[in-house]
Amino acid sequence: MLAVPKKKAKKKKPSMKQLRKRLDRIWYEQIYERDKGKCQCCERTTTLAPHHIFGKKAYPAGRWNKDNGVLLCFAHHFHYAHGKPEEFRRWVIPWLCKRTNTPVSQAEEMYDWLFVQVQERQQFRSCDFESKKKELEEK
- Tell me the domain boundaries of the chain: 16-137
Average pLDDT, the chain: 88
Predicted confidence (pLDDT) per residue in 13-59, tens digit: 778 888 889 999 999 999 999 999 999 999 999 999 999 999 998 89
Question: Which helix (H) or strand (E) element contains residue 72?
Answer: strand 69-73
Scanning the chain, the segments in alpha helix (DSSP H) are: 16-34, 74-75, 85-100, 104-118, 129-137
pLDDT in the model for residue 1: 59
Q: How far apart are CA 106 and CA 93, in angstroms?
A: 9
Paired with 70 in beta bridges are: 51
Inform me whether the pLDDT recorded for 103 exceeds 90. yes
